[in-house]
Amino acid sequence: MRILILTHSFNSLTQRLHAELARDGHALSVEFDIRDSVAEEAVALFAPDVVLAPFLKRAIPESIWSRHLCLVVHPGIVGDRGPSALDWAVAEGEAEWGVTLLQANAEMDAGDIWASRRFPMRAATKASLYRREVTEAALACVREALAQVPAWRDGAWRPTPLAEAAGQGRERPLMRQTDRAIDWARDDTATVLAKIRAADGFPGVADRLFGEACHLFDAHPGPAGITGEPGACVARRDGAILRVTVDGSVWIGHARRVEGEQAFKLPATEAFAEQAAALPERPVALMREDGEYGELRYRESEDGRVGTLEFAFYNGAMGTAQCRRLRAAIDAVAARPTRVLVLSGGPEFWSNGIHLNRIEAADSAADESWDNINAMDDVCEALIRLTDRVTVAALRGNAGAGGCFLALAADLVWAHPGVVLNPHYKNMGNLFGSEYWTYLLPRRLPAEMAARVMADRLPLVAPRAREIGLIDACFGGNAAGFETALADRAAALADDPDLASRLQAKAARRATDEAERPLAAYREDELARMRRNFYGFDPSYHVARYHFVSKTPQSWTPRHLARHRELGWADRKEAAA
């Protein structure tokens, strides 16, 4: 089928649907919902069988839904209506939630129901539930609905009108900051966590830190037995600030100031750098039991043969200091006598490369970009040079740009089928990219395929990445299944009788590669190009980063997504018809 994706932005759900439906054999094009007339033009050019709206912030115009089948993803159970569906579900502790696929009509979220799915809720942020459960459920709904389209056209099947559906949802208003507000004198830790999770990644909970207005994000349970006035800031760790609650404490990882030049999300200790500097550092051991907050954690299997290094950086963004801490952790765990080292990124994102928000906040964005990419390269180099054990990049979440290439620095890259990879840099103002990608990518892909992946700038789902050889294995069904299967796979690798010869071959290959062309030469060439991106006369990277960090609304759809706007598209369409 010809499917036009009409969406507010090419967000994670839209990327997943795009990649999966393309694999299913559909012809896809994307138009951002900028203006009715632009959407109308896109529909006229593409002549879609179906308009699919995975992520819209306003209604589809009547001129489109009255003439074309328009299916809208609503992240709520049947009968639920309103713009804050998932926010209410998280805030009110729903045990189960769901996704409904509706046919657009004159009333928002009230169209006929084509498909729906339910899922058990997790104690997680709204964004996490959206990227995992909602995305899986939406994909299942869309596939089910597309399969019904021929029967619907023949009049042999009809969707269920909302009034006839036995849904338990109801219409809910937009959740406002007054609904989200934390009462530090009353709310216990669980309530504070639920309120912030319901607002994370957007819009955060409006509050005050050090007497100044800001929005809070990225909350984690803190230690018990912390005394002080509820709401008081008492310590810092890994960019987070520890605040007292009535029954314990919470770590606040990120904050966004409401006013000023830095009114975008930053690590809390950076958003309030001066005040946070006066707080005592509360360090945490790298090797520790689960449950104590910290960005880095290392653990070993009972037999000591498999080490796992977790690095859970918020949004997968890796600032200079974070890269340096990770590099130091890799050096530390390299001294352990393990056979396999699993690098397990965060549960949400493996990595999205250098930290664009921190760069934007720096006095010199160019200098900070330079420091950050060098620190990132140091992490990659430490992994590439770790030849005495097998290294595995375990992708529990998505990876983008430099984050993808960081994964390729490991010997093996494993993911679950829900992982979306964006192995390209050009979307960020034509950035050339580093992370030794000019060494790592050709090891995995033939030149033509490598060039295509970099130039197409399209997301790949893990099964496709596995097919072309970009990653090595895709298993587990979903994020939860992956985590369960991961330990067994890593143990089997450590038990492999051929491990010694495998490691010998690895060390020999590294030596040969180094003799052919030293790693330093790859780095130098990449960084020469990056220097031009950062310091050269073309400001594209700085402009793109500014818009990315400021979340400037889209004003046009990139050509690589809007295929209906390609020259010659209309001729090809006619020829196909």
Which of left, alpha, beta for 229 (phi over 0: left; psi -120 to 50: alpha)?
beta
236 or 424: CB nearest ligand COA: 424
Min CB(124)–ligand COA separation in Å: 14
**In this complex, which beta carbon is closest to ligand COA, that of residue 114 or of residue 311?**
311
Instruction: Give first-to-last CA distance, the chain, whole Å.
Output: 12
Residue 129 CB, nearest approach to ligand COA (Å):
14
Tokens of 122: 């997790």
Nearer to ligand COA, 54 or 201 (CB): 201
Do residues 420 and 432 make contact, with C-beta atoms less than 8 angstroms apart?
no
- Exposed, middle or buried by CB within 10 Å (0-12, 13-18, 19+), for 302? exposed
Beta carbon of residue 137, minimum distance to ligand COA (angstroms, whole number): 17
The 3-class secondary structure across 534-566, one letter per residue, is HHCCCCHHHHHHHHHHHCCCCCCCCCCCCHHHC
Three-state SS at 394: strand
Beta strands in 163-319 (DSSP E): 205-209, 212-221, 233-237, 240-245, 248-257, 265-267, 296-300, 306-311
Q: Give least dist CB 68 to ligand COA, A.
A: 26
Q: How far is the CB of 69 from ligand COA (least distance, A)?
A: 26
Which of 201, 476 has the CB closer to ligand COA?
Answer: 201
Q: How many angstroms separate the CA atoms of 298 and 319, rounded?
A: 20
By C-beta, is 69 or 380 nearer to ligand COA? 380
Of 424 and 489, the one with the shorter C-beta distance to ligand COA is: 424
**Which of 109, 132, 128, 103 minimizes the C-alpha distance to 119?**
132
Residues engaged in binding ligand COA (CB under 6 A) = 11-12, 201-202, 265, 315-317, 352-357, 398, 400-402, 422, 425, 427-428, 431
Distance between CA atoms of 253 and 535, rounded to whole angstroms? 31
Which helix (H) or strand (E) is 90 found in, with range? helix 85-91
CB of 347 to ligand COA, least distance (A): 14
CA–CA gap between residue 409 and residue 441 (Å, rounded): 9
Shortest spacing between CB 319 and ligand COA, in angstroms: 8
Q: Which residues pair with 51 in a beta bridge?
A: 4, 70
Cα separation, 473 vs 471, whole angstroms: 6
Q: How far is the CB of 392 from ligand COA (least distance, A)?
A: 22
**Total residue length of the chain:** 577
Pairing of strands 306-311, 340-345: parallel
Minimal distance, residue 122 CB to ligand COA, in Å: 18
Closer residue to ligand COA in complex, CB, 69/219 = 219
Q: What number of H helices and E strands is found in the chain?
A: 22, 22
Which of 253, 476 has the CB closer to ligand COA? 253
Choice between 114 and 349, CB closer to ligand COA: 349
Three-state SS at 397? coil
For ligand COA, the closer CB: 433 or 476: 433
**Residue 497: CB partners within 8 Å, gap ≥ 6?**
none
Nearer to ligand COA, 15 or 249 (CB): 15
- Please give the Cα distance from 214 to 259 (Å, whole number): 8
User: CB of 10: closest distance to ligand COA in angstroms?
Assistant: 7
- Cα–Cα distance list, 459 to 18, 176, 212, 240 (Å): 8, 34, 39, 31
Q: Least distance (Å) from ligand COA to the CB of residue 497?
A: 39
